[in-house]
Structure 1
Amino acid sequence: MKKLKIEFKWAIVFTITLLAWMLLEKTLGWHEENIANHWWLTMLFAPFAIFIYLLAIREKRRRVYNKKMTWLQGFISGTILTVFVALLSPIAQYITHNYITPEYFKTVIEYSITNDLMTRTNANDYFNITNYMWQSAFGALGFGIVTAAIVAIFTRKK
């Protein structure tokens, strides 16, 4: 576990940053009156996520690999970080939808129905805590592995 300490630490930092972002989204009205733009505004979190991956892999290079790291070593570190982020993401979703923005699902369901984007049945099936927990975990895996691969290119040193 000692070898994975850096990745676990940064997964916790990532999760806390994500929760802070959710609070910002809620405060800016992206979960209520500006819900129509939520789908693209939430993508503004991506630079923060990439930056956290960069910091994590750089720390791994500095502390474990004596300031020298191959692309593969960086990618493996980023993939381990991704697994931890994916494991923590359902907890982040639970906190988000039970404490930060408990009315989000109701609001997005009503918006989807009112604007003829979905039927009530489809909206209820899609916008719920269970589905969002699964989506966040698998989304974290997909986005994280791609991010790890790209960040590892920029953090390798011989």
Structure 2
Amino acid sequence: MKNYNIEIKWTIRFILLVLAWAIGEKFIGLHDIYIEHYGIYTNLFIIPAFLFYYLALSEKKKYFYEGKMSFSQGFVSGIILSFLIALLMPMAQFVIYKSITPHFFDNVIEYKLKHNYMTLENAKTFFNLKTYMIESSFGALSKGIVTGAIFSFFIRTKNNVA
């Protein structure tokens, strides 16, 4: 377990970031008043998410691998981080949509219907807690693995050819 302390620490930080981001979105009105902009601005989460992956892998390289990390070591660390985040994302989604913004799904469904973007049946199928929990887990896993691979490539220690 000690081998994964950095990944566990950054997983907890990442989940706290997700919760803070949701609070920020709610506070500025993206979950109700400005819901028409939600789809655009929620994608900005990629910026802090990338930063967190970079910092996590950099810390792994510096403190666990003593400054020398191969691509595969970084990639495995990224996979572990992604897996741990994917495990905790349903809990984060539950907290977000039951405590932080309990009317989000009603608001987004109403918006989609009002503007004829979806039928009621399709909107209810897509915008609900179960769907968001599943989507967030699989999204965290797939996007996290890709992000981990990208940053592992850039953070890896390059071998000096004599």
TM-score range, shorter chain: over 0.9
Q: Which residue of 1 aligns with 2:18?
A: 18
Question: Taking structure 2 as the reference length, what is the TM-score of the superposition?
Answer: 0.95
Which range moves more in the overlay, 148-157 or 13-22? 148-157
Q: Distance in 2 between matches of 1:43 and 1:131?
A: 18
Question: Taking structure 1 as the reference length, what is the TM-score of the superposition?
Answer: 0.97
Q: Which residue of 2 aligns with 1:94?
A: 94
Aligned residues: 158
Gaps of 5+ in 1: none
Percent identity, please. 45
Q: Which residue of 1 aligns with 2:30?
A: 30
> Does residue 141 of structure 1 match 2:141?
yes
Q: Distance in 1 between matches of 2:87 and 2:40?
A: 24
Gaps of 5+ in 2: none
> Does residue 9 of structure 1 match 2:9?
yes
Query: Counterpart amino acid of 1:128?
Result: N
Query: Counterpart amino acid of 1:75?
Result: F
Q: Distance in 1 between matches of 2:101 and 2:116?
A: 24
Post-superposition offset of 1:149: 0.7
Structure 1 consecutive aligned stretches of length 4 or more whose deviation exceeds 6 Å: none
The alignment yields a C-alpha RMSD, in angstroms, of 0.8
Q: Which residue of 1 aligns with 2:49?
A: 49
Q: Distance in 2 between matches of 1:15 and 1:37?
A: 23
Give a deviation string over 1:132-151, Cα, whole Å, max 9, x none: 00000011111101100111
